[in-house]
Amino acid sequence: GAVVSQHPSRVICKSGTSVKIECRSLDFQATTMFWYRQFPKQSLMLMATSNEGSKATYEQGVEKDKFLINHASLTLSTLTVTSAHPEDSSFYICSARPLRGEINEQFFGPGTRLTVL
Amino acid sequence: AQTVTQSQPEMSVQEAETVTLSCTYDTSESDYYLFWYKQPPSRQMILVIRQEAYKQQNATENRFSVNFQKAAKSFSLKISDSQLGDAAMYFCAYRSAYNNNDMRFGAGTRLTVKP
């Protein structure tokens, strides 16, 4: 089946530093990748949608300069949290839609837990 | 904008019994997709079942089935013969057929399975 990986699975950083999270589709090419944020005991909130080779589309209220998204290839998207602060601590989940397949398919990564001290 | 409502923050079921999780949604669109995702303690989102709005027949996947009531905008999930491994957070989700990049999730229902 389609597998999406995320790296790292867990990261702890100091306030003010930047953190990069990678999302990879391991056995398929993804036209579109999605980044979600999930606070404890809450639902997934879409942050942004990225298409390979083009700029990401951010949801309302998500700062594009703070959450930098790069979708450089059909199998890799990265999310960089710049100048992280404690309020950025959360669980970040990526999701990928295959280039080929049913258009409503979307596969999720295992998530990355970010803790900012 | 479309919204998804799960009115049951927590549910519990005895092992081998049946449980139904509720989901309602609000939309003015005629064509869309509905999903149930399971998020176990590992936090990995797993697709349980999906339903195309244009299909009248309720989707089933082994022990999982849905009751899709389009007019009532209701999409409940029934888990039969509950197993300990079914314990997880369950999220109902809506995706427009006109904007495939827009998937909306409900707040989730935490299901506990008692042995």
pLDDT recorded at residue A102? 65
The answer to whether B91 touches A36, Cβ cutoff 8 Å, is no
pLDDT recorded at residue A51? 87
pLDDT, one tens digit per residue, over B41-95 is: 888 899 999 999 999 899 999 999 999 999 999 999 999 999 999 999 999 999 9
pLDDT recorded at residue B100? 76
pLDDT recorded at residue B98? 87
For β-strands A10-13 and A112-116, DSSP reports them as parallel
CB–CB contact B101 A49 (8 Å): yes
Closest CA to A15 of A111, A114, A92: A114
Give the C-alpha distances (Å, rounded to integers) separating A23 from A45, A77, B4: 17, 5, 27
pLDDT recorded at residue A103? 62
CB–CB contact B50 A104 (8 Å): yes
Given a cut of 90, whether residue B1 has pLDDT beyond it is no
Could you tell me if B11 lies within 8 Å of chain A, comparing CB atoms? no
CB–CB contact B101 A103 (8 Å): no
For A95, the token pair is 């999701």
Given a cut of 80, whether residue A95 has pLDDT beyond it is yes
Query: In chain B, what residues touch A93 (CB-CB under 8 Å)?
Result: 43, 45
pLDDT, one tens digit per residue, over B24-45 is: 999 999 999 999 999 998 888 9
Average pLDDT, chain A: 92
pLDDT, one tens digit per residue, over A21-70 is: 999 999 899 889 999 999 888 899 999 999 888 889 999 999 999 999 99
